[in-house]
Structure 1
Amino acid sequence: MASKKIRSLRELYQDDPQRADALLFGRVPHGDRRGFLRGAGLAAMGATLGAAIPFHRFMPSGLIPVALAETTEEFVLEGKDGLIVLNDRPINAETPAHLLDDDVTPTARHFVRNNGIVPDNTSAEGWKLVIDGEVERPLELTIEDLKSQFEVVEYALQLECGGNGRAGFNPPAKGNQWTLGAIGNSKWTGVRLKDVLEKAGVKPSAVYTGHFGADTHLSGDPDKQALSRGMPIEKALDPYNLIAFQQNGQDLHPLNGAPLRLVVPGWPGSCSQKWLTRIWVRDRKHDGSKMEVPSYSVPAYPVAPGTDVPEADFVTIHSMPVKSMITSPQSGETLEPGQKSLALRGHAWAGDAGITKVEISNDFGATWSEATLKPLMNPYSWVTFESEVSFPTHGYYEIWARATDENGIAQPFAAPWNPKGYLNNAMHRIAVMVPRA
């Protein structure tokens, strides 16, 4: 019988951690990893990492040292800085964690998530937005109408792809293999969706919105939609949803939806329709492209990895889960000789909820210390955390970050598996080397 092909180090460890340790570092006696890490296995792992592991006794079984699991390949799109391109048809690109250190994400470092072909014309001139359906007064508005008829506001808003973190699931899920960087927290300028809907006069029969953009289906068929999702009317009336025409004080980047887009913070980025042309207020749940199961849906109950889940048992994703990311230092950093501490920074967010704390560990989760949270810019912005991390001796360390939201929900070490690879909010880990003095 042919041996199973191992597609990645991550898959190797998730399928058979004992075999992974044996293949990489030598025999694991009686399946006892802690015993293994007291002997030759520890020396082999340390040699591979290039340093000793002071807190090796706390390493969970099957843990992949993050320094081994990480790979990077930078690829620059026009108007973008250091993004990693995952796909070019459609264009999708994420931002390495260390390039997301700013409290406000620069446009050049905001991720790109497309489902179809970017429209040829992204000029604001002549662009029109239609509001129709279950409203008393259907509207047809230019961008100038939006600016002149409604209050223009600016908010820092976190926007995350529902599949961010998909690369961390096993069995692998089809789709773009996002790692961490399908998240951004830019300042968006526009008008409140709530104000526009209220001017149109939302009828009591309104249940859901349906969103439409000018992008075209990959097939080129004009009768097919690339993406048309929506949200319950209660969420649509949240005052922090924007119809946006600027990002960070400048016109939108074409890959980020110029000249007009929705920004629906806290929910999957697919709700934030780009190249926005129409909002259809409906008397039922929207049934546009990518609203059907299993798109942007997860099982209504926990399932074992690889489970075949009936379509009737899926639920549509609403609020995104609690999550955090270390942005400084960059994973893999080596301290200066004699340096025994470093300053740590990162961000945390939790969909519709607020963040109450972020905890840091440098001993594989044996102990935790609480980071300092900077003041929140506004609701639905991510919060920046800062900490000082000390190291008792030289060697290989992993720094882990764990955020907790206002509902008391904390990030897990590993997120529950689901067939489409959504909502991976596992704790972020980075590698740090402390050399001999």
Structure 2
Amino acid sequence: MAIDRRNFLKGAAATSVTAMLPLNWAFASNRPAGIEPMDVSAVKWKSVDDLPSHFKVLNSSPLNAFPPEHLLAPVKTPADVAFIRWNGKMPEFDKIDPDTWEFTVDGESIETPKTYTIAELKKKFKTHTQQLVLECGGNSRENFYPNAKGNQWSNTAVFCAEWTGVLIKDVLADCGVKSDAVYTAHYGADKHISGKGAAISRGVPIDAAMNENGMIAWGMNGEDIPYMHGYPLRIVFGGRPGSVSQKCATGMGVRDRVHDGKKMGAPAYQVPKYPVAPGEKVDNKDFKIIEEMIVKSLITAPQTGSELALGKTLSVSGHAWAGMRDVAKVEVSYDYGTTWQTAALTKPVNPTAWQQWNIDLKLPQAGYFEIWARATDTKGDTQPMVQPQWNPKGYLFNGCHRVAVRVV
């Protein structure tokens, strides 16, 4: 497949965050290059007009937008750079009263349906704080060839914020789950763009809800969840398609069958059951649900298009994640995959958090180089150097991320 290097380099001029500088910005001298303080107004952004210029807007109705890669450098993604993905109309946030907001647990396979206010969730259950990766199933879709249908996300429809709330498994245990339970159903105030019906209502296998660290969260990075990210409650499942992390969550059902809500049917968030040729048409009956995300990495430094003086050390760093698994290794190449060097890699702070990696390189001569990164998970799955298995909706692209550097 031919590489369009003009498009490859187009991110070089990405702007930094336009932010409101605090009067007393503690430890400002320690900030990484290119990182500005969080825009405190981000908590109450409620339309495309509120977004700063560093976001690339794919659609305004429903709103979908993503940041440049280098702004994802922080371990905990700030709210003002996290990608934004809505499936329908956003609620009237100014009219939401968190004191009266309710979360209902019901469904065919719940023994005792119950409704909780946010205050009751806080009082009745243990509070947990975790860093969890949320990644759109279509992250990096623009890299598929031939193009696949859907929002043409670059590589930054992913973030890892710190979420505060209660564990879903604790709440379900309080209600009682019947032995015939199969799937959860997630409900929220994300209405269809027409204003009629739900825009999305997805779920996860019951084993995931009962045995993993999924949350009903009210906090993001130590503050109330910002409007754009699901205020005042969000269902959050790290390591699974971001579409199951329902924003403005109003409840969860426990079903005695695979949930049949909006965007649960093929081909939404599904891939073919068997390998298909690029561009091949697939009947809806031949799709399967994406339950987990897969191994992937992102280079956040240097920015693509950077220049480096010959003889100077190039510091390369970024994140890696692998759905429900941990990342075991990250490797970097500057010679198109001919040789690879192993980067230093941190352990995740908790399950389904992303991991940080870094390496110093000495590029051997003046000229144009591409820095490639690939991650390998704990079961041995490694990112492909080229396009992964093509699928009609462009999900799960995890080819090696690369950035361009010129040595002068």
Q: TM-score scaled by structure 1?
A: 0.82
User: Deviation at 1:201?
Assistant: 0.3
Counting matched residue pairs gives: 372
- 1:266/1:68 Cα in 2 relative to 1: closer, same or farther (>3 Å)? closer
> Which residue identity does 1:347 align to in structure 2?
H
Distance 1:239 1:67 in 2: 40
User: Deviation at 1:340?
Assistant: 3.0
Give the corresponding residue for 2:105.
Answer: 131
Matched, 1:148 2:123: yes
| Residues 65-84 of structure 1 mapped to structure 2, 5 A cutoff | 65=5, 68=8, 70-71=10-11, 79=42, 82-84=54-56
Q: Is the 8 A contact 1:298 1:316 kept in 2?
A: yes
Give the corresponding residue for 2:24.
Answer: none
Q: Tell me the alpha carbon deviations over residues 330-385 of structure 1, each in whole angstroms, 9 at most, x when there is no partner.
A: 111111x3443211110000001110000000011100000000232111100000
Matched, 1:412 2:384: yes
Matched, 1:400 2:372: yes
Distance 1:126 1:142 in 2: 6
Distance 2:262 2:56 in 1: 26
Give the corresponding residue for 2:277.
Answer: 304
Sequence identity, in percent? 46
Give the corresponding residue for 1:283.
Answer: 256
Distance 1:67 1:295 in 2: 28
Distance 2:122 2:258 in 1: 30
> Which residue identity does 1:256 align to in structure 2?
H
> Which residue identity does 1:290 align to in structure 2?
K
* Partner SS state of residue 220, structure 1: coil
Distance 1:113 1:425 in 2: 20
Q: Tell me the alpha carbon deviations over residues 148-190 of structure 1, each in whole angstroms, 9 at most, x when there is no partner.
A: 0000000011110000011011222222110101000100000
Give the corresponding residue for 1:22.
Answer: none
* Partner SS state of residue 246, structure 1: strand
Q: Is the 8 A contact 2:310 2:365 kept in 1?
A: no
Distance 1:122 1:269 in 2: 23
Give the corresponding residue for 1:427.
Answer: 400
User: Deviation at 1:122?
Assistant: 3.6
Give the corresponding residue for 1:8.
Answer: none
Give the corresponding residue for 1:341.
Answer: 313
Equivalent residue for 1:172, pick from 144, 147, 163: 147
Give the corresponding residue for 1:34.
Answer: none
User: Deviation at 1:301?
Assistant: 1.2
Distance 2:78 2:349 in 1: 16
* Partner SS state of residue 70, structure 2: helix
- 1:373/1:85 Cα in 2 relative to 1: closer, same or farther (>3 Å)? same
Equivalent residue for 2:158, pick from 183, 190, 195: 183
Matched, 1:88 2:28: no
| Residues 14-413 of structure 1 mapped to structure 2, 5 A cutoff | 14=1, 62-65=2-5, 68=8, 70-71=10-11, 79=42, 82-120=54-92, 121-133=95-107, 134-221=109-196, 224-335=197-308, 337-413=309-385
Q: Tell me the alpha carbon deviations over residues 269-295 of structure 1, each in whole angstroms, 9 at most, x when there is no partner.
A: 000001000111110010000001000
User: Deviation at 1:394?
Assistant: 0.6
User: Deviation at 1:220?
Assistant: 1.7
> Which residue identity does 2:128 align to in structure 1?
V
User: Deviation at 1:327?
Assistant: 0.3
Distance 1:339 1:237 in 2: 54
> Which residue identity does 2:257 align to in structure 1?
R
Q: Is the 8 A contact 2:373 2:401 kept in 1?
A: yes
Distance 1:298 1:67 in 2: 27
Distance 2:211 2:395 in 1: 24
* Partner SS state of residue 211, structure 2: coil
* Partner SS state of residue 255, structure 1: helix
RMSD value, Cα:
1.7
Q: Is the 8 A contact 1:66 1:430 kept in 2?
A: no
Q: Is the 8 A contact 1:67 1:431 kept in 2?
A: no
Distance 1:342 1:417 in 2: 33
> Which residue identity does 1:425 align to in structure 2?
N
Larger Rg: 1
> Which residue identity does 1:330 align to in structure 2?
Q
Q: Tell me the alpha carbon deviations over residues 173-216 of structure 1, each in whole angstroms, 9 at most, x when there is no partner.
A: 22211010100010000000000000000011111111110121
> Which residue identity does 2:190 align to in structure 1?
D
Q: Is the 8 A contact 1:66 1:431 kept in 2?
A: no
Unaligned runs of 5+ in 1: 1-13, 15-61
Q: Is the 8 A contact 1:67 1:332 kept in 2?
A: no
User: Deviation at 1:326?
Assistant: 0.3
- 1:144/1:365 Cα in 2 relative to 1: closer, same or farther (>3 Å)? same
> Which residue identity does 2:126 align to in structure 1?
E
* Partner SS state of residue 85, structure 1: strand
Q: TM-score scaled by structure 2?
A: 0.88
Distance 1:108 1:172 in 2: 29
User: Deviation at 1:311?
Assistant: 1.2
User: Deviation at 1:136?
Assistant: 1.4
Distance 2:329 2:6 in 1: 24
* Partner SS state of residue 103, structure 2: strand
Distance 2:238 2:138 in 1: 15
Q: Is the 8 A contact 1:123 1:258 kept in 2?
A: no
User: Deviation at 1:310?
Assistant: 1.4
Q: Is the 8 A contact 1:163 1:421 kept in 2?
A: yes
Distance 1:364 1:123 in 2: 54
